């Protein structure tokens, strides 16, 4: 199997980017110091952290234009890995507000039951239960970091496993620093939630 090339995104290591990631870190650290049972404090901290993270993503993709556009969906035919319990809990609340919540959950359960290794799964091109007919995420504001971090430098159609250029695609993965994921895992453990899993398994009832 060909390993896609890696690239360096200078803006991701800039002082401005680091300041935004520090804001994200501080918001989550505040949540760690708070009462684990106080969901409103956790929600405020997660919202603040995600605002900072989205600003970080904006900064990087402005400096290094990506191919990602609204309605572009190949990456929503995968099963994001490394999703933490507190992110899933938040996404579950957003799904609960949808009129067809039961059908969405049942769809996640079907996908989770059919789970395979990541490469095999990508080639199946199963649609995320939260993707609408126009190719938009129905829980966009609540999507996990793994969804937010996934971008492409190479043409969008290369992200499709059926593309002859798939092996040459470049997806930089703008994941936050490991310490941020560790705090999200710690917050999840404090609330008795799963530490980390894939999206489909985590969203199945």
Q: Which is nearer to ligand SF4, 21 or 76 (CB)?
A: 76
Site residues for ligand SF4, window 138-177 (CB under 6 A)?
139, 143, 147, 150-152, 156, 159, 171
Taking phi over 0 as left and psi of -120 to 50 as alpha, with beta for the rest, 80 belongs to beta
Strand-pairing partners, residue 197, are 83
Report in angstroms how near the CB of residue 130 gets to ligand SF4 at its nearest. Answer: 4
The span of 45-53, 95-103, 135-143, 184-192 binding ligand SF4 (CB under 6 A) equals 135-143
- With CB under 6 A as the contact rule, the residue among 112, 130, 180, 187 that binds ligand SF4 is 130
Q: Which is nearer to ligand SF4, 32 or 194 (CB)?
A: 194
SS3 per-residue string spanning 6-51: CCCCHHHHCHHHHHHHHHHHHHHHHHHHCCCCCHHHHHHHHHHHHH
φ and ψ of 24, to 5 deg: -60, -45
Other CB atoms closer than 10 Å to residue 186's CB: what's the count?
17
Q: Are 88 and 202 in contact (CB under 8 A)?
A: yes
Report in angstroms how near the CB of residue 123 gets to ligand SF4 at its nearest. Answer: 15
3-state secondary structure of 78: coil
The interface mask with ligand SF4, positions 70-109, x = CB under 6 A, is --x-xxx---x-----------------------------
Q: How many residues bind ligand SF4 (CB under 6 A)?
A: 20
Taking phi over 0 as left and psi of -120 to 50 as alpha, with beta for the rest, 192 belongs to left
The contact set with ligand SF4 (CB under 6 A) reads 67-68, 72, 74-76, 80, 128, 130-131, 137, 139, 143, 147, 150-152, 156, 159, 171
């Amino acid at each position: 199997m060909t390993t896609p090339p890696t690239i360096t995104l200078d803006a991701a290591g800039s002082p401005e980017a680091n300041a935004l990631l520090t804001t994200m870190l501080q918001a989550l650290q505040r949540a760690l110091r708070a009462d684990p049972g106080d969901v409103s404090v956790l929600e405020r901290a997660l919202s603040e952290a995600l605002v900072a993270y989205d600003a970080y993503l904006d900064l990087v993709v402005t400096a290094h234009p990506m191919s990602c556009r609204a309605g572009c969906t190949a990456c929503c035919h995968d099963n994001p890995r490394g999703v933490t319990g507190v992110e899933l809990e938040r996404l579950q609340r957003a799904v609960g507000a949808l009129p067809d919540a039961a059908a969405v959950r049942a769809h996640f359960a079907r996908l989770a039951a059919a789970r395979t290794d990541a490469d095999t799964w990508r080639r199946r091109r199963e649609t995320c239960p939260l993707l609408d007919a126009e190719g938009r995420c129905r829980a966009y504001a609540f999507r996990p970091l793994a969804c937010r971090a996934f971008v492409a430098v190479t043409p969008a159609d290369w992200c499709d496993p059926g593309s002859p250029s798939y092996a040459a695609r470049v997806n930089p993965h703008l994941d936050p620093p490991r310490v941020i994921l560790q705090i999200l895992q710690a917050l999840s453990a404090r609330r008795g939630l799963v530490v980390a899993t894939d999206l489909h398994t985590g969203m199945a009832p």
